[in-house]
Each structure stands twice: as structure tokens, then as C-alpha cells.
Chains A and B, each alone.
Chain A
């Protein structure tokens, strides 16, 4: 009962050591050759231990030669398991779940579009910052902040790019929009770098403000110019400070009656930054030269620059207001060949007493 014959070699073997291949029993020595030959004939080549045919491949219940046993490929199953194995399908809930997962993925990617845009802008900005192209990086980083104003990385990159391109206002705006300038990790290297840049920039601006106040005072022109030069040296990223320092140099030259230097500086500034203010400054220095030399060509040049100043100021209320104060003094210098300070001019012609006398006349 427990033995059977190998179909190939005809020898008798224990059932436990025989294999089933396409319904025929083979011993362990013959089954591999038989399998290869079956494969060559295009028949199924998989074989299983013969004993397995007596038990259900799924639940291990003894099925022997039960008529209701189900044969699926090389495997035999009991009547209960057979249909289950035959029709094993994806459950309905799994199909819905996987469909929902795909849908969620689409939603996730669609939802992330604005973040992809912001992120891309940030990485582009970051790369430009790494290349020291700060001015070009700034608009990309500001676009990121429009969507993510609280991103530490984006804010610090923006502040860095802004400060290194001389735009302190943009840096201030980015930092203030980030929890009022509060950062959780004050030891972060990027934070420390921006903090250092910020301190340097604001320190320079404070000096520039002090210089501006000093410049208003008579006799402090040289000190004002020195302070402005210090500010420009501390924060060279803001070219306006260097320009202001040069302008203050011209004020200092005027104060020490060095009119050649005064003309040289104002002419250079006019050439570099042609504007109503620079035209008026050059007109002023040329008027000084006319006053001390009496050379009419200086007067003529000064008149021409005055005309240009008025022309350039058209449509600019602030420039017109500044000229309203400045032009009469230059005109006075040209008319009288007297060089007097603004304070003296104001005392003579703009004090309330003078105004009163003028009105009485």
C-alpha cells in the first residue's frame, strides 16, 4: 500500500519518495529528466511530491482519492479550498482602496503644485546665492516668501541676498514677516550669517544717519564726510553710501574753500549720476569758481547746469522743492560773487525778520 512504481525506471519506491509529474509517478532520480523532456514537448514541467497529492495543498486535510478534490495545475485541494484557490481575486474593498490611493496621489500632486513652484524658486535662488548673484536671486526668493513667509530657509536666504545686494528694506521686510523676526534656532549657521550681515548693514546706516545730521550743521562737514566714508566702507554693498560719501566730500571741500576739488567731485558725480540734484551741485561748485576767479566761462557753465537742473526736476515734486531752496543761493553767488553759507543766506534773506521787512517794503 505504501509503495508505488516509477513510471520511467519501473522500480518500486515508497510513496513518500515519489514525485508527481503530469499525473505520472517518478522516483527522485528520474523526475528531473522527465521534467526536462516534458518541457521540451511543451508540457507542464512542474512536479510535486506524490504525497502532496493526498493532502489539500492549502489546509493539509487528507483527501486521498476523494472524488470532489479539486486539481489546479499540479496541486490538489479539498472541496472547500478548491473554489477559493481557483477564484482568488482582489477584494472589492481593496480595488476601491487602491483606486482611492491613486486618486489621493493625483490630489497630492495637484495640491502640491504651488509648493513645487515656491520650492523651485527657492532652489533657483539658493543656487544663485551660492554663485554670489544676489540681485538676481532676490526676486526668486521673494516669490517663495509670497507662498511661504515662515520658511526659515527661504527667509534667511532672502535676507542674505537682500543685504548682500544692498537692499536693507527687502531684508527687513522678509525678516519681519517671519514671526516678527523671531527664529527658533539662533545657533543656526545661516541665521548667524544673516545676523552678522544685518548688524553690519544697520550699523552702517546708523552712521550714515549721524553723518546726515552732522552735514546739516555748519562746520561739521568734514566730520560728516568721514562718518559717511566709514558707513560706505562698512557696507559697500549699498552703493548709495559711497555716492553720499563723495557728495559729503564735496561739502567738506566747499567748507574749506577748496573749490577745485568741489568742482571735480560734483562734475564726477554729475557724469556718473545725472540728476537734478547733481546738476544743481555742479552749478553750485562752478558758481564758487566764478566767484573766486571772475572767469565768465564758469558763470556760463553754471547757468547751463542750473537750466539742466530745472529741466530734470520737472514732474518731480521733491526735486522741485529742493531746487526752490538751492537755486536762489546759487543765483545769489553768480550775481554778487559772494560765497556765503546756507545759514548765512537764510539769516540774510529767509529769516522771519527779513520776510517782515520785505513785506513792509
Chain B
């Protein structure tokens, strides 16, 4: 396993960081949460952040934490779908397609919610799940998986996720449509 400093990775995939933080901000505003500070991109750890008031409502907590995960994943699938065929299947050298694939991968790579986001979700979900809250029930396995994947970032799980989504997503779409 080779080591590439985080800021270098973040710089190479900066669109994903911006989209991720924009997603947090969007859901904060959607649920009328007070935002204290936002950094869309920086050369540091974390590469971006949104600091907002404490959330007491679980639905808001879920969407603020997981919203960027879904948004980044969706955008990754869309951009990679546009570029998947020339890059992987048809082997056409099309610089524009490679650009779109990079964009898709960059966005997909930054889909994972931070450990802090997940810990808030993880803390409040079990009690609500016991009461039959559907969102809490859904979020439990998802949060558990994402916690594991978050720790696996040291072995490029985030890049792996981006590639998997960027390949399997379009492949599933095209197979279904053909």
C-alpha cells in the first residue's frame, strides 16, 4: 500500500469535497438549522466542514449527515454513466469522457459522511429504531457499514467506493436498458 498525503488527494478530488460540504449546507438550510461556519475546501484535515447548531430532530440529523452521501453517490453515478462506455467498455480515447469520469470519481470518493456525523446518527438511532422509527431502522445498518468504510479509508476504501459506484452503477443501468 502506498501513501499519498490527504491534502494531495483532496486537491486532486476537490470537486467532491465542495459538493459534499454544499450538501451539508443545503440540508442545514432545508431544516432551518443555524450554520456557524462553512469551509468548502482547504488544504488541511478535514478538507472541508460545515459547523451547525446541535440537532435534536432525528430526521434533520439523518439528512444533514447522510444527505451528502446520497447526493455525491448520485452525481458520481450520473457523471460516470456519461463517461463509462468510452472509458471502460469501448476504449475510445476521448479526453472529455476522461474528464467527466474524473469528475464523477472525485465526487463519489467524497461521499462518505464523517465519523462525527455518523457518531451523532449512531447515538440517537437505536432508541428511535426500538420505537419503530423507519428512518432510524434504515439508518442503523447504513451507518454501521459507513463507520467501517470510514475506518477503511486508510486502505483507500473511499476511492474503492467511488470506483465501484462509477463502474457498477453505469453497468447496471446499461444492462437494464439493453
Q: Identify the A interface with B (CB < 8 A).
A: 46, 57-58, 72-73, 75, 81, 85, 88, 90-91, 94, 97-98, 101, 104-105, 108-109, 111-112, 115-116, 118-120, 122-124, 126-127, 144, 147-148, 150-154
A88 x B97 contact (CB < 8 A):
no
B34, chain A: closest CB distance, angstroms: 5
Q: Mark B8-19, 1 if CB is under 8 A from A, else 0.
A: 000000010011
Given the interface pairs A97-B18, A123-B175, A147-B90, the reply to whether A105 lies near B85 with Cβ below 8 Å is no
Given the interface pairs A104-B100, A108-B100, A118-B85, the reply to whether A98 lies near B35 with Cβ below 8 Å is no
A75 x B53 contact (CB < 8 A):
yes
B178 x A115 contact (CB < 8 A):
no
Q: Which of B36-44, B112-120, B150-158 contacts A (4 or more CB under 8 A)?
A: B36-44
- Mostly, the B contact residues are helix
B96 x A85 contact (CB < 8 A):
no
A9, chain B: closest CB distance, angstroms: 23
Choice from B15, B82, B86, B174 contacting A123 with Cβ under 8 Å: B174
State in angstroms the CA–CA spacing of A151 and B92 once bound together.
7
Q: Mark B155-178, 1 if CB is under 8 A from A, else 0.
A: 000000000000000000011011
State in angstroms the CA–CA spacing of A151 and B91 once bound together.
5
State in angstroms the CA–CA spacing of A170 and B48 once bound together.
55
A112 x B83 contact (CB < 8 A):
yes
B35 x A112 contact (CB < 8 A):
no
Given the interface pairs A88-B35, A94-B22, A120-B178, the reply to whether A105 lies near B79 with Cβ below 8 Å is yes
Interface residues of B in 95-151 (CB under 8 A from A): 96-97, 100, 103
B19 x A101 contact (CB < 8 A):
yes
Instruction: List, sorted by A's number, 10 A–B pairs whose CB atoms are closer than 8 Å.
Output: A75-B53, A81-B36, A108-B100, A109-B82, A115-B97, A124-B178, A144-B90, A148-B91, A151-B89, A152-B91
Q: Confirm or deny: B78 has a beta carbon within 8 angstroms of a beta carbon on chain A.
A: yes
Given the interface pairs A112-B82, A119-B89, A154-B90, the reply to whether A72 lies near B178 with Cβ below 8 Å is no
A151 x B90 contact (CB < 8 A):
yes
Chain A residue numbers with a CB within 8 Å of B89 are: 119, 122, 151, 153-154
B178 x A111 contact (CB < 8 A):
no
Nearest A residue to B25 by beta-carbon distance? Answer: A90
B174 x A119 contact (CB < 8 A):
yes
Q: Quick one: which of A115, A147, A150 has the most chain B CB within 10 A?
A: A115
Given the interface pairs A85-B35, A144-B90, the reply to whether A108 lies near B85 with Cβ below 8 Å is no
A73 x B92 contact (CB < 8 A):
no
A119 x B56 contact (CB < 8 A):
no
State in angstroms the CA–CA spacing of A108 and B100 once bound together.
7
A112 x B86 contact (CB < 8 A):
yes
Choice from A46, A57, A122, A124 contacting B56 with Cβ under 8 Å: A46
Chain A residue numbers with a CB within 8 Å of B177 are: 120
Given the interface pairs A101-B19, A112-B83, the reply to whether A127 lies near B178 with Cβ below 8 Å is yes
Chain A residue numbers with a CB within 8 Å of B22 are: 90, 94, 98
B83 x A108 contact (CB < 8 A):
yes
Given the interface pairs A108-B100, A148-B90, A148-B92, the reply to whether A119 lies near B53 with Cβ below 8 Å is no
State in angstroms the CA–CA spacing of A349 and B153 once bound together.
90
Chain A residue numbers with a CB within 8 Å of B35 are: 85, 88
State in angstroms the CA–CA spacing of A322 and B38 once bound together.
87
Q: Quick one: which of A97, A108, A126 has the most chain B CB within 10 A?
A: A108
Interface residues of B in 27-75 (CB under 8 A from A): 29, 34-38, 40, 53, 56, 75
Given the interface pairs A115-B97, A127-B178, the reply to whether A105 lies near B40 with Cβ below 8 Å is no
State in angstroms the CA–CA spacing of A91 and B19 once bound together.
13
State in angstroms the CA–CA spacing of A123 and B177 once bound together.
9
| Given A88-B29, A111-B97, A115-B86, 13 additional A-B pairs, CB 8 A | A58-B37, A75-B53, A101-B19, A105-B75, A109-B78, A112-B100, A115-B85, A115-B90, A115-B92, A118-B90, A119-B90, A148-B90, A148-B91
State in angstroms the CA–CA spacing of A58 and B22 once bound together.
20
B37 x A150 contact (CB < 8 A):
no
A112 x B97 contact (CB < 8 A):
yes
A120 x B92 contact (CB < 8 A):
no
Choice from B15, B34, B96 contacting A75 with Cβ under 8 Å: B34
Chain A residue numbers with a CB within 8 Å of B25 are: 90
Chain B residue numbers with a CB within 8 Å of A147 are: 90, 92
Chain B residue numbers with a CB within 8 Å of A81 are: 36
Chain A residue numbers with a CB within 8 Å of B18 are: 94, 97
State in angstroms the CA–CA spacing of A4 and B22 once bound together.
42
Chain A residue numbers with a CB within 8 Å of B85 are: 112, 115-116, 118-119
The 4 closest A-B pairs by CB, nearest first: A123-B178, A148-B90, A108-B82, A115-B85
State in angstroms the CA–CA spacing of A88 and B92 once bound together.
45
Chain B residue numbers with a CB within 8 Å of A94 are: 18, 22, 40
B168, chain A: closest CB distance, angstroms: 15
